[in-house]
Chains A and B, each alone.
Chain A
Amino acid sequence: MEETLKPTDEEIALAVQAGDKEQFGLLMERYNQKLSRYGRKFLSDKDNIEDIVQDVFISSFQNINNFDVSLKFSSWIYRIAHNAFINGLKKKQRSFIPHFDFDLFLSHHIEEDPAIVERERKEMKKIIEIGLDKLKPKYREAIVLHYLEELSYKEISDILEIPIGTVGIRVMRGREELKKFYEAKNIYYE
């Protein structure tokens, strides 16, 4: 019995870097849905997410040599997507994520207990659709990446380029704000 192992994202990226350019199609397949979903939560359904995701793929292909294969490809491509969506937000001029944020200044003690994260993920996934757009973008993106895209604080730290402790704080505050919103609307989620 022969078991075929799927190549990892990083292996595919390495192949593209080595010249096997068409392999990039596999990466697009893998990230099409993820990035579109991330974009929708980030912006809103009305925005031209399809075009932005397409640009993200083109940009990541053209800059593939800038990817360090010893790191995670997901963090790298999400970083490109993050920048693209931020630009999308700026264009809308409704809201933006400021560079200056006091949460970045000091370290924050955070714990990422897998059991707690799993329980919270299940709980949040059920309710996250409602009220997400009420959150500040900086909390919204942390919540989306952590609970919907199931990324660790470390990965989110690489995507948003902020300290791991700040990721934890944003996730926690975003969750608290969501819960307050549900309580105010008498929505029960447990």
Chain B
Amino acid sequence: MNNESEKQISEEKIEDILEKIKKNELPIKSKTYFRLKYLILLCLLAAIFITSLFLLTFIIFSLSAAGQLALITFGTPGLKLFLILFPWKLLALDIILVFLLGWLLRTFRFGYRTPVVYLLLTILTVIIGTSLIIDRIRPFHHNLLHQADLKQLPLLEEMYENVRRPPPIIHGIYRGEITAISGKILSIEIDNAKGFGSTTPLKILLSSGVPEDVRVGNKIFIYGNIINGRMENPKIKVITSLPTPYQQQDLK
């Protein structure tokens, strides 16, 4: 024990610290300083949580709004296109935010006492759960998309306008609107690259007849080869979720 005592810091140094304390040379940080620090941390946590929530709900919205989920029904080429079009960058950013949230939560007692995997799973569950609730209760992103249509969303306008973009036509899967049905022939107009209005007319021959759920005005995905403006027996999937752009009369 004596050996231990010899190796602790000397009485002089302790006295030195006490002397500094008496002379007020060691200022104590105020409680307000720590409260403010705590508040900033909470604000940062809230900001990251909201951003993460926003990104995840946007990913869900963009997948359903552009009808991309329907692509999976076209088998391997559809799945491939779905994976190409998936907003991986946004998902990666969201994952980084979830990790950041987990890392910041570990400054709290409940955070560091919880194993990392459980903490991250809890954050994910809360974010996904809240996203789904928000999506059901309030058409949040639909409203923002309409604001983008009205050119009232300066920073996020492009991001929202991209939601309507159809898949690039080089992949053999097209998106368009049915303009007429005549017997076994569907007349459709393929969406332009912006997804805002149609440009290319196309005739489709369905030898087995037009399915009952396909009607004039429907937005559809079609998969097949176009030869001289005609397509024979393509695979068709009706998209029900594509939001209608604000029309000119709405803008007035």
Per-residue CB contact flags for chain A residues 27-52 toward chain B (1 = under 8 Å, else 0) read 01100110011001000010001100
Chain B nearest CB from A102 CB (Å) reads 9
Chain B nearest CB from A138 CB (Å) reads 15
> A36-B7, A105-B116, A158-B109 are contacts. A62–B13 as well, Cβ < 8 Å?
no
Select B29's contact among A22, A53, A66, A106, beta carbons within 8 Å. A66
Chain A nearest CB from B55 CB (Å) reads 24
Q: Find chain A residues with CB under 8 A from B109 CB.
A: 158
A135 interfacial contact with B, CB 8 Å? no
User: Do A54 and B13 touch (CB < 8 A)?
Assistant: yes
Per-residue CB contact flags for chain B residues 94-134 toward chain A (1 = under 8 Å, else 0) read 00000000000010010011111110000000000000000
Q: Find chain A residues with CB under 8 A from B18 CB.
A: 22, 24-25, 28
B26 interfacial contact with A, CB 8 Å? yes
The interface centre, meaning the residue of B8, B30, B106 with most chain A CB atoms within 10 A of its CB, is B8
Interface residues on B, range: 20 to 34
- In the bound complex, what is the Cα–Cα distance between A177 and B29 (angstroms)? 43
Chain B nearest CB from A150 CB (Å) reads 14
User: Do A163 and B4 touch (CB < 8 A)?
Assistant: no
> A62-B26, A65-B28, A107-B118 are contacts. A25–B7 as well, Cβ < 8 Å?
no
User: Do A32 and B26 touch (CB < 8 A)?
Assistant: no
- In the bound complex, what is the Cα–Cα distance between A164 and B115 (angstroms)? 9
Q: Find chain A residues with CB under 8 A from B143 CB.
A: none
> A33-B8, A157-B113 are contacts. A62–B29 as well, Cβ < 8 Å?
yes
User: Do B10 and A25 touch (CB < 8 A)?
Assistant: no
Select A54's contact among B5, B17, B106, B113, beta carbons within 8 Å. B17
Is chain A's interface secondary structure helix, strand, loop, or mixed overall?
A: helix
B183 interfacial contact with A, CB 8 Å? no
Q: Find chain B residues with CB under 8 A from A63 CB.
A: 28-29, 34
User: Do B9 and A53 touch (CB < 8 A)?
Assistant: yes
> A28-B17, A36-B8 are contacts. A65–B116 as well, Cβ < 8 Å?
no
Q: Find chain B residues with CB under 8 A from A104 CB.
A: 115-116
Per-residue CB contact flags for chain B residues 39-69 toward chain A (1 = under 8 Å, else 0) read 0000000000000000000000000000000
Is chain B's interface secondary structure helix, strand, loop, or mixed overall?
A: helix
- In the bound complex, what is the Cα–Cα distance between A32 and B33 (angstroms)? 28
Q: Find chain B residues with CB under 8 A from A25 CB.
A: 14, 18, 21
Q: Find chain B residues with CB under 8 A from A50 CB.
A: 9-10, 13
A57 interfacial contact with B, CB 8 Å? yes
Select A166's contact among B7, B10, B27, B115, beta carbons within 8 Å. B115
- In the bound complex, what is the Cα–Cα distance between A158 and B108 (angstroms)? 10
User: Do B21 and A163 touch (CB < 8 A)?
Assistant: no
Closest to B108 in A: A161
Select A28's contact among B14, B26, B33, B115, beta carbons within 8 Å. B14
State which residues 51-76 of A face B: CB under 8 Å: 53-54, 57-58, 61-66
Select A32's contact among B9, B116, B117, beta carbons within 8 Å. B9
User: Do B9 and A65 touch (CB < 8 A)?
Assistant: no
Select A61's contact among B28, B112, B118, beta carbons within 8 Å. B28
B89 interfacial contact with A, CB 8 Å? no
* B binding-site residues for A, Cβ under 8 Å: 4-5, 7-10, 13-14, 17-18, 20-22, 26-31, 33-34, 106, 109, 112-118
| 6 interchain residue pairs of minimum CB distance | A161-B112, A36-B8, A33-B8, A65-B31, A32-B8, A105-B116
Beyond contacts A22-B21, A105-B115, A107-B115: 18 other A-B pairs, Cβ-Cβ < 8 A, are A21-B28, A22-B18, A25-B21, A29-B14, A32-B9, A33-B4, A54-B13, A58-B20, A61-B21, A61-B28, A62-B26, A63-B29, A63-B34, A65-B29, A66-B34, A104-B116, A163-B112, A165-B115
